[in-house]
Amino acid sequence: MARLGRLSRLSLPKPFPLHLLGHEGLVPGGPGSMMPGVAWLLVLLLLALLGAALRSWQRAPARSKIPRAQKRRVEALQRMEALARRLREQEPSLDPRPILELPLDRLVQKLRDEELSLESVLCSYLEEALKVHQEVNCLTDFLDECEEQLQALKKLKKTERGLLYGVPITLKDPYNCKGHDSTCGLAQFLEKPAAKDGVIVKVLKAQGAIPFVKTNIPQTLFSAECSNPIYGQTLNPLRLKKSPGGSSGGEGVLFAQGGSILGMGTDTGGSIRIPASFCGVCGLRTTGYRLSYSGVASAIKGQKSVTSVAGPMARDVESLVLCLRALLSEDMHRLDPTVPFMPFREEIYSSNQPLRIGYCESDGFTQPSPSMARAMRLTSRLLQDAGHQVIPFSIPRIEYAVKHLFVGGLFADGGATLLEKLEGDIVDPCMKTMINQLRLPDLLKCFLAWILKYIEPRASQNLEEMRGVRTPKKLWERHNAVEEYRQEFIARWRSLDLDVLLTPAVDPAFDVGYSGKALDSFSYLHLYNVLNFPIGVVRVTSVTPQDEEDLAFYKGYYGDSSDTYFREALQGSVGLPVAVQCIALPWEEELCLRFMKEVETLVKNHREPE
């Protein structure tokens, strides 16, 4: 527990200040010729400082809730240790290694055939998850009801056992579980336990799965880091100075170290795919509304331009497939009629017809790192050698899509909803840069965007989009713009008669504290939340010493601070995983998974030169 305390006190490097704020050389004519303008600017800055002081005074309620939440977590994990001890006493000679090494499909079979007891499997994962937590601080809550659920499962007849019978699973923090907080890393959400399980949790339990822990996330879920003022910083077990990614970072590290075999994440801008690629595991962002999102907490419910979705994470593709088979049941539609009843289509997943694969090594917005580009070329070569067609594909109007549609879509309200959730809270270091910018008065945002246009054009665009749409008419126009862009993208896809698309993921893992500074590099992920396409991540290689040498010459397409930070964030990554993204059109999860499985199989059968 002392280790836990040290981890919770870890702090990130201070966020990079907004570029050149207050640099008098940027004021035309110098300070003497624009006194009225400077006076107004000083007034605005004074108001901002007064607002910051007021917010600091309002933090008292948050400070009173956070220690209580931290104490509850300590007590919950003590109960988790106690259950592991009780289960261990039932089988003193239990060796967890063979259980932890089983892939999900074989584990399920052994449980159904009663070759393994439910107690031995749950005990093995309880113990391993606690070990991982002690190293990297990834758990937020223990789901005590797992013991009662295990006993209920033992009473079922063989014919009543679901597809995930007896499988211990993990859940990202925002998944509602009756009697437990879904915090989103926010003090406002503490001490408000869910009245009932969310739809996905209910379906998983109906299929025999045993949720046993909830995992850590960044504050608000709006970060590719994994840190919040309640539970602290989660680290990447593959290299402790690296981030596990976010916002499903707690899930990612458990899979990387064998503390989980199946779990559920969410994805608004890469929140499943970033941790999957940073930690070297598999994750699937589903089409919006293919899985229910009812009973999943969010800091910004209501925005529509960028689709937030649920999706599974696991160590391999076959586990994702089994999870989707279980979720796409009649129970899903019955519990949430807004979700169409679309059972898993086995004939699509099991097809062995050659694929026409679009190949996009660069999106034209973020220059891929040397390891990202090499991973793409390796995967393309393996696919072509296996008889698939690989066709060059270019992303239309990428800057417009990423800045106007994605950033503008998330902050269509000027960030008002997000800021409301942070009232009276302590802002985590991983969120400070974004929140400081959102809190700027609109006039100051406009002024800074105008200045930065000539030296940091992407930062300028961010500030402009953070101003929000301001009228219902503009909001409707934004929604229409998203739909028009989606149709434009699909038309280009179909003009090439593509089945699927291959693009880079963003990797290797960033140093802790860099995700907010190099935010533009996540363009490869953000785009597909605007498009609402199913997309999965598969590891294909690792960073080589040559990749590291080549990184020293990385310039980026803009040569701005984001490009510089991207290069810095990736340094010291030799041996870390590198992944690719496999993409299909909406509602084609089965085809997406088939493509992922093909890539995974080809990579496993390929031996890279030492």
Catalytic residue IDs: 172, 247, 271
Residue 328 backbone dihedrals phi, psi, to 5 degrees: -80, 60
Of the candidates 470, 490, 453, which has an alpha carbon nearest to the alpha carbon of residue 584? Answer: 490
| Identity of the amino acid at 15 | P
DSSP state of 405: I
**How do strand 210-215 and strand 168-172 relate by DSSP bridges?**
parallel
Residue 385 CA to residue 25 CA, distance in Å, equals 58
Dihedral angle, C-alpha 74, 75, 79, 84, nearest 10 °: 10
Residue 433 CA to residue 187 CA, distance in Å, equals 19
Of the candidates 503, 504, 507, 126, which has an alpha carbon nearest to the alpha carbon of residue 279? Answer: 507
User: How many CA atoms, within 13 angstroms, populate the side-chain half-sphere of residue 477?
Assistant: 9
Sheet (strand 168-172) strand order: 139-142, 210-215, 168-172, 262-267, 309-314, 282-285, 535-542, 577-583, 500-504, 356-359, 389-392
Neighbour tally for 484: CB within 10 Å: 11
Q: Residue 593 contacts by C-beta under 8 Å, 6 or more apart in sequence? A: 284, 317, 320, 321, 324, 349, 536
- What six digits make up the tokens of 585? 């059109």
* 100 touches 258 (CB < 8 A): yes
Residue 372 CA to residue 363 CA, distance in Å, equals 12
